[in-house]
Amino acid sequence: MSPSLPQSRLLIADDHPENILLLMDNLDEGCSVIVAKDGHKAVEQAFAHQPDLIMLDVMMPGMDGFEVCAILKSDSRTKEIPIIFITAMRDAADEEKGLRLGAIDYIRKPINPSVTRVRIRNHLALRRKTGLLEELALLDGLTEINNRRWFDDALSREWMRARRTEKPLSLALLDIDHFKTYNDTYGHAQGDQCLIQVAGVLRHSMKRGGDSVARYGGEEFVVLAPDTPREAAFRLLQEITAGVAALRIPHAASPVADHVTISAGIACCLPAEQDPALCLLEQADEALYQAKASGRNRVVALP
């Protein structure tokens, strides 16, 4: 037998406990199971536990499996979770309906235990690979911190959240000083190593749960700090600039210092109707420009 997939979580929704037990008896080791005895409970459990795979009976009291599937596929929290219908319905039209609603597979009762086990295993493996690809798509290949695509989503998410909570949102743009000269002096490969080290300092500086950092592009990074007033963001960015300076990465050709330094521009606002790009990104860019123009190796926060 091929090895099981550890730590996979399955939701089995069926109004007949004996069907649930039959499925549970035929799962690989390492699968944990959440059960639901009707459609409403299935939706509730899927939202609460975000399982890796959902096995859904079609005919259930209250809300049938098709309705459950439609709800889960239209919610961002659950729309990527694969759903397998397990049903006694034999009509091809029903099977087509289930698949059109977004189910990944359709198994007819009475189930064949060994075939069902392999199908579940295959869908879990596929889910795992898809999850890894989704994670990779949001990471910067060089520094392995979040990338620009991740940041764009994070900014709109945090913007909406800050509007709801009426808490200030801070954003900082950071840029390595005289990085072109660094590359010219030490070579592009060494430049890449420098970016990796700076990104490491940024990652380790994110101590509060909600704070995050991303590579914005080239030698520019961005820090997003929800529920953070300007002064607190300023202190955070000063710690980061001190952390980068403490790396003491030699930069002999820099007119600023004998080691690599960064400049940072901070913007902070209480989100309202305006566009986050205008409110935060443009202001942070302007602050960064001022930090560069006034000598580099410093943090500027616009009032």
Ligand X SMILES: Nc1nc2c(ncn2[C@@H]2O[C@H](COP(=O)(O)OP(=O)(O)OP(=O)(O)O)[C@@H](O)[C@H]2O)c(=O)[nH]1
Can you give the binding site for ligand X, defined by CB under 6 A?
142, 175-181, 183, 188, 191-192, 195, 218-219, 292, 296
Of residues 51 and 265, the one with the C-beta less far from ligand X: 265
| Catalytic annotation, pick one of 134, 219, 220, 273 | 219
Nearest-angstrom CA–CA distance, 180 and 241: 19
Q: And the tokens for 65?
A: 């499996």
Nearest-angstrom CA–CA distance, 236 and 228: 10
CB of 95 to ligand X, least distance (A): 50
CB of 251 to ligand X, least distance (A): 10
Nearest-angstrom CA–CA distance, 80 and 84: 13
**CA–CA distance from 31 to each of 4, 16, 19, 44, 168 (Å)?**
8, 20, 17, 20, 42
Minimal CA–CA distance to 110: which of 88, 81, 91?
88
Of residues 138 and 256, the one with the C-beta less far from ligand X: 256
Of residues 183 and 197, the one with the C-beta less far from ligand X: 183
For residue 209, the one-letter residue type is G
CB of 288 to ligand X, least distance (A): 9
Angle CA 165–168–172, to nearest 5: 135
CB of 179 to ligand X, least distance (A): 3
For residue 40, the one-letter residue type is H
Of residues 145 and 195, the one with the C-beta less far from ligand X: 195
Of residues 38 and 219, the one with the C-beta less far from ligand X: 219
Query: DSSP string spanning 103-166?
Result: -SEEEESSP-HHHHHHHHHHHHHHHHHHHHHHHHHTB-TTT-SB-HHHHHHHHHHHHHHHHHHT
Give the CB-nearest residue to ligand X: 191
- In the annotation, is 18 catalytic? no
CB of 196 to ligand X, least distance (A): 10
Nearest-angstrom CA–CA distance, 194 and 42: 49
Residues with a known catalytic role: 219
